[in-house]
Structure 1
Amino acid sequence: MRAVYDVVTHPETATHLGPPLSWVDHYARFHRNAGGWYLHGYGNFLVRERGQDRVIGNVGVFHSNRGLGEDFDMNPEAGWIMAHDHVGKGYASEAMTAVLNWFDAEHGPRRIVCIVSPDNPPSLRMAEKFGFVPTRMAEMPADGEPVQLFERLP
């Protein structure tokens, strides 16, 4: 749990993730994800390099109910966050390929949404690579930050 917190709070990574995340907020989010596995049968996975212990990312399909509207909040949401020093090395792509293939096989092809900061070109390219198409721009309820919403249809 602490390893993921260290990834998402690093300044080079956190710049695309909205307002700073406190340890208390991260703890609640981490446990909410565990509950998502129980309630929905899917959630996030930790990413490690083969044979290594260090957590270098967090990817998955989950439910978050961000307050962005019914067209977004009530759908499975895909997400990927990689440690700043592992961006651009193919880890997120490899992990999300496995996640989306697993999700489609286990839960059937269905609409999945994702959210990306418009100031994050690598994640915008990732969304496109995985068949997500832009649906609309929105503002995050917590801080008003602009975000691009996407969907991936079956």
Structure 2
Amino acid sequence: MICLLTERLVLEPPDARHIAEMRAITDDPDTHRYLGGPQSAADHFTRMARNAGSWQLYGYGGFAVTLRTSGATVGNVGVFHSWRGLGADVDDMPEAGWILGRQFVGQGLAREAVTAALGWFDEVHRGRPIFCMIDPDNAPSLALAAHFGFVPLRDAQLGTAPVRLLLRG
């Protein structure tokens, strides 16, 4: 099993114990406002299954992120395969994503986790372009994407939610 360690974090592929913990994070209104709004239990499970299934099908996926000191779940960060129906330019491409619990935002944990996840992905899957999609109003996430070299590709709609697609080549 892949396990990445940073100064403060443990990143590992998610398993069933992370379902409820991530549901609590994404149920928070401060978090789900950038994820297209509240999700049903079925939608949440689909997100978790997409991350877990990406590991099986493609050899990469989202990591469950926990604190090294306490084991508290911080969120989910990584590169996964999603086929969201956004167009041929991104549908069969690895997608980067990060979701952190509100209480962990603003501490540099997202940057630390994304650094580890992208570093691992680049080492193992060299030369693959990666896209990400971010709510256009999520300025902190857009800034984080820019820090890692993601540049605007185009705006799109995911269901009823506007998203900005960014590309890192």
Place the TM-score, normalised by the shorter chain, in its bin: over 0.9
Bigger share in helix = 1
- The yes-or-no answer on 1:126 pairing with 2:123 is no
SS in 2 for 1:103: helix
Report deviation, 1:37: 0.4
Decide whether the 8 Å contact of 2:136 with 2:163 is kept in 1. yes
| Identical-residue share of aligned pairs (%) | 50
- The one of 31, 35, 42 equivalent to 2:53 is 35
**Does 2:70 align with 1:61?**
no
- Alignment match, 1:3: 21
- The code of the aligned residue for 2:45 comes to Y
Per the alignment, residue 83 of structure 1 pairs with: 101
Aligned to 2:165: 149
RMSD: 1.0
Q: Secondary structure at the match of 1:73?
A: coil
What is the Cα deviation at residue 114 of structure 1? 0.3
What is the aligned partner in structure 2 of residue 109 from structure 1? 127
In the superposition, the TM-score normalised over structure 1's length comes to: 0.94
Letter in 2 for 1:81: I
Amino acid at match of 2:108: G
Give 2:10's aligned residue.
none
Q: Which amino acid aligns with 2:79?
A: V
User: Per-residue CA shift, 1:26-78, capped at 9, x if unaligned?
Assistant: 12321232121011000011111222122111000001111111111110000
One-letter amino acid of the counterpart of residue 46, structure 2? A
Alignment coverage as a number of residue pairs: 151
Q: Which amino acid aligns with 1:27?
A: F
The structure 1 segments of at least 4 consecutive aligned residues displaced by more than 3 Å after TM superposition are none
Partner residue, 1:98: 116
State the shift of 1:110 in Å.
Answer: 1.3
Q: What is the one-letter code of the residue matched to 1:126?
A: L
Q: Which segments of 5 or more consecutive residues in structure 1 lack a partner in the other structure?
A: none
